[in-house]
Structure 1
Amino acid sequence: MIVDFTHKQSAHCENGVVSNLLRFHGMEFDEPLVFGIGSGLFFSYLPFIRVNSIPVVAYRIWPGQIFKRFSDRIGIRVERHKFSSTEKAMTELDKMLDKGQPVGMLTSVYYLDYLPAAYRFHFNAHNIIVFGKKDGRYLVSDPVMEYTTDISYEDLVRARFAKGMPEPSGRMYYPVTVPGDFELNKAIWTGIKQTSEHMTRIPMPLVGSKGMKYMAKRLRRWPERVGDRKAILWLGNVIRMQEEIGTGGAGFRFIYAAFLDQASQRTGNQQLFDLSQRLTKSGDALRDFAYYAGRVCKNRKSDTKTFVELGDMLEECARQEHAIFNDLYDVSRSK
């Protein structure tokens, strides 16, 4: 067991794993800084890709990219592995634990038996840290949990090699070198510029604020296009991706707003603080959308909205986010 490992709970798994791994190596970065420097906030709607016959919706960048971008910008060298053999994957994990190295890894939520049953479903991009073994069980730091826990060899294998999209394939990662000095302000501005650029300037209608607007337009017509039952299933998935996968769309906005607040203090730029306030309001608007969408899914007759009205709410969120990140891009260009 790695006795000097410190676990801290976070809102989102990848941010929390990065923060906890780096703390072990003597670097203190809280969740908003990891998320902001790693340019984690994003939006994409990919109707041509289906998971369980439901179009893919994401409110963040794809798994693994937050740590990659963050480590590149701070100057951390990270070792990454994936495996075709379960035995080799577990042997390599044991080797790193014997060396006293906590290991981050990608897992399926469904096979993590320490989670409450209501939270276990087939989602294959959940990040955890394994930091030791005791009595044949692996010690786990799961950032969404208040305390550390443990898991059996068999369940950890299932979680690391679950089938579906994306396949975890036993992926594991850990820092091997950390810098003595780094340019924090430069990393902050680089992260801000990439996020604002990707939210407003990718010439593709399915991503960024344009993607949110496009989904709003499609959402209005789901009942007539695919029928009421399927429309409810698709809307329920939008809510799940927004509110239950990691922190979800609104939660990611609150984390990024906290990052802009910290960035404002560190760089002395008042505009970043003003934009953080606006983004918090955008997160509130997304939460309102999720509330009314949930009432539609539960068939609540009073205080509800139509699909057209839900589309209007989401389009207003898209408008707000485009304005916020367009202004943020202008602020970052000169830095």
Structure 2
Amino acid sequence: MGRETIHLMACADFPSAQAITCERAPAAARAPRTDAAVRRNKQEPQLKIISHRGASGHRPEHTLGSYELGARVGGDFMEIDLVATADGALVARHEPEIGQTTDVSDRPEFADRRTTRTIDGREYTGWFTQDFTLDELKTLRATERIPEVRPDNTAHDGVYEIPTFQEIVDLARRMTDELGRRIGVYPETKHPAYHSELGLDLEPPLLAALLDNGLTGAEPELPVFLQSFESESLRKLADAGLPRVFLMGTEEHWRPYLTPEGLAGVAAFAEAVGPAKDLVIPRDEQGDLGEPTSLVGDAHEAGLLVHPWTFRSENRFLPTDLRSRGGPGDFGGFAAEYDAFFAAGVDGVFTDHSRHAFLAREIHLEDI
């Protein structure tokens, strides 16, 4: 099915995790929901939907509410950015700096913790998880990171705590039992070299947590992928016996990894790559969605899966030719973008809108 023939109506903001409705349109274009589709959704499809920081298009990211919603609406994995506290606990935050994702700036008792740090060559000013104990972090509440694009999410500001890795694993296990399908975890070691410099290595506590939860080896209790932008961190996680994902951006220093030879080298320490999605299908000079590169085929030839990031349904993030006439936070033609990447052969997608990815996958799989 080509991009021009894919139609999928945008989901309204979900009023609760229990009451979720979406529909495909027009009716004449919809494929019937077959018994085969129902059986497939009770299994573990090869084309993975990775709930990026949970259902972060509908709840503040990296919260238990976001992770739960992502699983309920079709996500296969809970994607987790892991950073460390002063006492070595692993918690889920997009960055060590938490001024943009919590209410810490409104907490006078922590005003003196505001500082400037350099992380991987970039200077940040704010509040950092490494300067708080876990107990102190638990007194904070999460807030929406991009309220100008996702104003509806601000209704949930102040509702959720910062979750630990263990709490997310516990949630994945509970959702697995409740939904009747396995919900995996997909943790990222965030800035591991930076943490190591502080004496807060991320890999040992992550390995210990995985072992304690029966999530190591060839047959873990729940599906697991381990991810990092740093190859050394992935090498340190080899003992887990789990698939590892080497994340890659669009900056020039990633180019050597994008050749067949470079990907063959990646296969020595990873089982998958997580490229920025423009590396799979770039945009042209007008910002329209272009044609696929050879990356997927080259990665598959090297024995690597391909999980590109990050798919978002709002106009602000979509290719120009797929945007609607609404504002930057309105949904555009996201289904056409998913379909193009599915047709290019990717093995999974990181998405802020798990329900949209789920429905787009249903259309794609019914059509092939």
Q: TM-score, normalised by structure 2?
A: 0.25
Structure that is richer in helix per residue: 1
